[in-house]
Structure 1
Amino acid sequence: MAILSTGPLENNAVLGVRPTQLVTVKMVCRNTVGAVTVTIQGYVLGTTRTLYVNEVINIGPDEVVTRNYFADLDAFEFVFTTGSGDVETVGISVWGKQSSGQLVGAHRVVEHEKTSQEA
């Protein structure tokens, strides 16, 4: 299996408001024949690392899937797990957004920026 991570993302409040309140995860399956399965785990980072998102998603051939998650937190991390053969056929991006929907550049993680490891 392949494990991809955003790494820890700080989201400290500025003038009482955190920059990001919502995280949008966009995934694409580039495989034209078979589906891929992605497990999404979101963690609140404080004095401990606490799981708050745990979702398994099946993505069909040439399908794009979007998920939105609460992120009005001081710090968070998202981890994506796929089959080892699927890592090249799935694209994943993570976008921090304000409550108005405005993108937060500091919380944008695109495909080539995620850390990856084979397990």
Structure 2
Amino acid sequence: MPYFSTGLLESPSVEGIWASPTLSVNISNDDSSTVAIQIEGFSQTETTKVKYVEEFFTLASGAVVLKNYFIPFNAFEFLFFASSQSVEISVWCKDSNGNLISAPLEIFEAKA
């Protein structure tokens, strides 16, 4: 099962306002059958990693889903598990007005 990670990302706040308070995840299923998807999101401090997102769902063949996650943390990481190599995942940061503030974030295949 493919396992992808954003790696540890930083989103420092300035006067209590985070630069990128929303993470948008676009997932498309290019497989010929339904696939299973699991998403985990973690906040991280210098000493603690805490899971705050855990979703499990299926995605029909040819379907696309957009998920948005609020990230009120200075550091975070998202992990994605897919039951097929034919699943495409792209990740973007948005500002508080919903505007894209970055090119797609690079996610990489990780070893379980």
Normalising by structure 1, we get a TM-score of 0.85
Helix, strand or coil: the match of 2:18?
coil
Partner of 2:65: 65
Which residue number corresponds to residue 100 of structure 2? 103
Tell me by how many angstroms 1:23 deviates. Answer: 1.0
Name the Cα RMSD after superposition.
1.5
Q: Deviations over 1:60-110 (max 9, x none)?
A: 111000111111211111000122xx12x100011111110111217x31x
Count residues with an aligned counterpart: 111
Inter-partner Cα distance in structure 2 for 1:118 and 1:2: 9
Q: Distance in 1 between matches of 2:28 and 2:97?
A: 25
Structure 2's unaligned 5+ residue stretches are: none
Q: Which 10-residue stretch deviates more, 71-80 or 9-18?
A: 9-18
List, as ranges, runs of 4+ consecutive aligned residues in structure 1 with deviation greater than 6 Å.
none
1:39 matched to 2:32: no
Secondary structure of the residue aligned to 1:101 is coil
Q: Distance in 2 between matches of 1:57 and 1:8?
A: 24
TM normalised by structure 2 equals 0.90
Q: Does 2:108 match 1:115? A: yes
What one-letter code is carried by the residue in structure 2 that aligns with 1:21? Answer: P
Look up the match of 2:3. Answer: 3
Aligned to 2:50: 50
- State the 1:117 CA deviation: 3.1
SS in 1 for 2:77: strand
Query: Runs of 5+ in structure 1 lacking a partner?
Result: none
> How many angstroms does 1:22 deviate by?
1.1
| 1:39 partner SS | strand
| Alpha-carbon separation, structure 1, partners of 2:14 and 2:53 | 25
